[in-house]
Amino acid sequence: MNEGLGPLAGRRIVVGVSGSIAAYKAVSLVRMLGDRGAVVDVAMTAAATRFVGPLTFESLTHRPVLDDVFELDAEQQIAHIELAEAADAIVLAPATANLIGELAAGLVGDAVTAIACASRAPVIVAPAMDAGMWTHPATQRNVATLRDFGYILVEPEVGELASGLTGIGRLAEPPTIVAAVEHLFARAGDLEGLHVVVSAGGTREPLDPVRFIGNRSSGKMGAALAEAARDRGAAVTLIAGVMSVTPPRGVTVIEATTAHAMRESVLRAAPNADILVMAAAVADFAPARASQRKIKRSGDTLQIELVPNPDIVAEVGEMPDEVRPFLIGFAAESNDLEANAAAKLRDKGLDLIVGNVVGGPFDAIGSDENKVTVFAAEGALTDWPMLPKRQVAERLWDLIADRYRHSRGATESTTSPRRRRS
C-alpha cells in the first residue's frame, strides 16, 4: 500500500455503483483509490448488488456498504447525510442510463441517488451502457443536464460491450477514472485567496419599453468559468448580462443587462479583482434614444440611430498597474480568428484572449461545447479540440492560474508590486 502522499491522501470519496455488468470494475477502482490513501465509502443500488456482493467492497474498504437508505433507522439515515456532507468527491462508476436519468431528473430512490443529491461535493460520472442506449437522445439530454450541474464526465470508451457487439459505451478503465479524481484534487484550491470576476451573457440595448437590440449569447461559457473558479477556491463575482442558464451557486451575482450597466459594474469590481475574465457579449452599439413609449407600427420605414457603446475591457486594460487585474478577453470571430484575436489582445491591453468561432458549423454561441484557441502576445498557446464548456473552463483556469502566478512573480520582483487587497 502506497503511503498516500498524492492528491488523494486522506480524501473522503464515495463511490456509487449502479447495476451494470461493469460493476466488477468498480472493485479495482475502489482498491486503487484506497491504495492512494483515500478513505472510500461505497454506495450501491439494489441492481448493483446483484452483480457484485457488498461484502466484496466491505472487505476492501473495511467500512459498511450503503445499499438501502430507506431500510435504515433515523440515526443511520442521518449518518448517510453526514457522509454526503463529509465527502470530498463522489464517483459514480459504473453509471447506468437509469442512474443518469434519475440524477438528471432529481429523483432520489436509493443510497446512490440520495448521497449524490444531498452532497455538494464534485461528482464524477463514468457511464457504462450499450451503445444504442448511450447515443439515445434521452441519455444524451440527461448527460447534458448533469454537465450543466457541473458533474465531470469520464467518457465511456469504444470496445466490446456486454451484448458482444463493439461500440461506444464501455466503462472507462479504472486508471482513467482514478486520473480524473486525482486531477480534480490536484487543481482544487489553486485559485484559493483570489477574487475572480467573470462577466457572462449578452447585453440588451432598449429601443422602447418592450423591444431591444440583443445577441444570441447564452452565458454558458461564462457560467462554466465562474463555477470552475469557485470549485478551485476563488471568491467569484459573476457580472451577469442576459443568460439562458442559471448562475452557479456560491458566487456573487451582479445583474447588468445593458452595456452601460455592465461597464459600471465591471469598472467598480475590477480594482478589487485579481483576475477579470470578460466572457460577456457586449453590444457594440445602442439606440441613441430609447423611446419611453412603445414605437407604433406605421407604413413608413423606421430609422434607428445607433451610437457606439464604450469598450469596457479596453478601459480596464488602461487602468494603472496597481489596480488593473490580470485581464482575459474573448474574441468572437466569424473569420480570420488568429489575426483578429491578436489585434484585440493588443488594442484592448489584455494579458490573454480566448478566440472562438461564431456562426457556421462550429458556432460557439448557445452551444454546450466550444472549440477555443488561447492567444498571448507571443501567439497561439493552445490546440484544443471541441470540448464541453465546463472542460474548456477547467483548461482555461489551468492556463490562466499558471500565467497569473508568473505575472505576479515577475511584478513582485520589480519595483511596482501589485497592490494586495483585502
Contact between 280 and ligand CTP by CB under 6 A: the answer reads yes
Q: Which is nearer to ligand CTP, 207 or 276 (CB)?
A: 276
Residue 341 Cβ vs ligand CTP, minimum distance, rounded to whole Å: 8
CB 97 within 8 A of CB 20: no
Alpha carbons 325 and 272: distance in angstroms, whole number: 8
Alpha carbons 186 and 171: distance in angstroms, whole number: 23
- Cα 406 to Cα 355, 398, 402, 410: the distances in Å are 22, 13, 6, 6
Candidates 13, 128, 276, 282: give the one binding ligand CTP (CB under 6 A).
282
Alpha carbons 304 and 251: distance in angstroms, whole number: 38
Contact between 286 and ligand CTP by CB under 6 A: the answer reads no
Chain position carrying cell 462550429? 362
Chain position carrying cell 441517488? 113
- Residue 142 a catalytic site member: no
Chain position carrying cell 441492481? 47
Residue 201 Cβ vs ligand CTP, minimum distance, rounded to whole Å: 10
Catalytic residue among 98, 215, 309, 356: 215
Residues 211-250: x where in contact with ligand CTP by CB under 6 A, - otherwise, as a string: ----------------------------------------
Q: Which is nearer to ligand CTP, 195 or 344 (CB)?
A: 344
- Identify the H or E element spanning 385: none
Stretch that binds ligand CTP, among 134-142, 184-192, 223-231, 311-319 (CB under 6 A): 311-319
Contact between 11 and ligand CTP by CB under 6 A: the answer reads no
The count of residues in the chain is 422
DSSP for residue 335: S
Contact between 114 and ligand CTP by CB under 6 A: the answer reads no
Q: Which is nearer to ligand CTP, 155 or 284 (CB)?
A: 284
- Strands 369-370 and 306-308 come out as unpaired
Bridge partners of 146, per DSSP, are none
Residue 135 Cβ vs ligand CTP, minimum distance, rounded to whole Å: 35
Chain position carrying cell 419599453? 209
DSSP for residue 288: S
Candidates 259, 276, 352, 400: give the one binding ligand CTP (CB under 6 A).
259
Contact between 116 and ligand CTP by CB under 6 A: the answer reads no
What are the residue numbers of the active site? 215
Which residues of this chain interact with ligand CTP, rule CB under 6 A? 259, 278, 280, 282, 284, 309, 311-313, 329-332, 344
